[in-house]
Structure 1
Amino acid sequence: IEYHSSHLPMGTDALVAYEFAKRLARETKVIIAPPVWYGPASYAVQGPEKFTIDMDGRVFYDTMYQIFTALLKAGWHHVYVMIAHQTEDFNPTETACLHASRTALFKHLEETRGIGWWGKAESKTFYETLSAADNPWNWIKIYPLTLRHKEFTGDHAGRIETSMMMALCPDLVRKEKIGQENGDWFTETAVEATPEIGEERIRALLDLWLAELNQA
């Protein structure tokens, strides 16, 4: 829950990921879990007076650990976490998810396969099957929305994110606020935003995600 200037709603990051996932579900067989709205937003953009809600990364880690643990116990082995907030250079949201997923996974393997599971004879071919979908390292994957493709640069409530919201959640974009002088330098490019730009980016990202999921 982070401030996205006056033209985009609180929760924009989760909305983008959630609505994008719904688009993805139209084109392939996936089950969409409810979004996690709260996390390490940070006060880098604005403080609590602008209604940003920042969760300590350790608390977020605990939350995600519990979610991952429950999913593994339920038998889910193809879990993808899609992040649309602070996705560059492994910032707090992504690192907390990575840490929580691996911790939950190791604990699950110890509980289901026993202490020393990797050292047993049946794990002799472990490294030969690293790319296989049933390899434990592939059971939970943490990705930014862009799947770390460098050509997809981002912004914060600027041309790109505003265009995405225009395409995904048009009723939540306050178009009359775009371009108003409010001191938010990061929104200067929002005046260039269009639904068409958003749809073009969404289509390109959908193709990347479909290719990724087809490998699972």
Structure 2
Amino acid sequence: MPLLENVTMKEFEGLRNDIQTVLLPVGSVEEHGAHLPLGTDTFHALEIARRVALERKVWVAPPLWYGLCRSTSDHPGTVGIRGITLRSVICDLVESLYNQGMKNIIILSGHAGGTHMAMIVDACEEMIKRLPELKCAVLSVLDLRKHWDGIVETPDDSHAGEVETSIIAYLMPEALRGSSSEEYPSFPDYLIVRDKRRFWRGGVWGDPAKASPEKGKAIMERSVREICRLVDRMNRD
């Protein structure tokens, strides 16, 4: 498995012409209720990338641990960066990876916040205009949920609920601290609020009680399968 941080300069140079696709996992350090670790988003995206690398010729770049966490910024444990910072970092990383011969770049984010994803997409829009041979794909783990039919029971499950609790229960059960109550945020329409925790007390969006390691395994398998298809499409087109 070609993990970028583990290879030497000589090893990388020998593989550079053979492997020109890289997966860049992006996550967050963010609250995930009372029962999941702050690194859940990063663990999720990185493990998908590593499993794809067992099936396809791709590099896996070290994850970007920090993201734009707007709705959870007032919750204990959330440590985020500004949108402009995220955009700049993504631009720099994409350009540097491209200059090292990686023409196909897939950014997979375990954190699916709307403003977070918009910054990544905007960065990549700029880079495909600047770098003529670049192919770039951007998606979050929640973009894969259409492939989870028959597994996930909770409608609109999004954060620290059935899906992410199942993932952690499967990948690293020792990190699971019990459960949290079912909850959904109640932010007022249109308003930018200061006290965000007032409208989302427990930081859960979904129902953790419906989670299981078996669901986590099935979600991972289908997610990996879809990213493998994306790798094949980028290599072929």
Give TM class, smaller chain.
Answer: 0.7 to 0.9
> Residue 188 and residue 206 in structure 1: after superposition, are their counterparts in 2 closer, same or farther (change >3 A)?
closer
Distance in 2, Cα, partners of 1:188 & 1:95? 23
For the 8 Å contact 2:159–2:204, the answer to whether it is kept is yes
Give 5+ residue unaligned stretches, structure 2: 1-28, 149-155, 184-200
**Residue pair 2:161, 2:204 contacting (<8 A) in 1 also:** yes
Q: Which has the larger radius of gyration?
A: 1
The Cα shift of 1:70 comes to 0.7
Equivalent residue, structure 1, for 2:176: 173
Deviation at 1:195, TM superposition (A): 0.5
Structure 2 CA distance for partners of 1:181 and 1:155, relative to 1, 3 Å: closer
SS for the counterpart of 2:204 is: helix
Which residue is 1:45 aligned to? 72
Rounded to whole Å, the distance in 2 between the matches of 1:61 and 1:52 is: 19
Match of residue 120 from structure 2: 97
Aligned counterparts of 1:5 and 1:185: Cα–Cα separation in 2: 5
Alpha-carbon offset, residue 161 of structure 1: 0.8
How many residues align? The count is 182
- Counterpart contact for 1:7–1:173, Cα < 8 Å: yes
SS at match of 2:59: coil
Q: Which residue of 2 aligns with 1:65?
A: 91
TM-score, L = length of structure 1 = 0.74
RMSD: 2.5
Aligned to 2:158: 155
Q: Shift in Å at residue 36 of structure 1?
A: 0.5
Q: CA deviation at 1:141?
A: 1.2
Partners of 1:145 and 1:188 in 2: how far apart?
15
Q: Where in structure 1 do 4 or more consecutive aligned residues deviate above 3 Å?
A: 146-154, 179-183
Q: Secondary structure at the match of 2:126?
A: helix
Per the alignment, residue 190 of structure 1 pairs with 208
Which residue of the partner structure matches residue 139 of structure 2?
143
Question: Aligned partners of 1:23, 1:61: CA distance in 2, in Å?
Answer: 27
Residues 191, 184 of structure 1: alpha-carbon distance in 2 compared, 3 angstrom cutoff: same
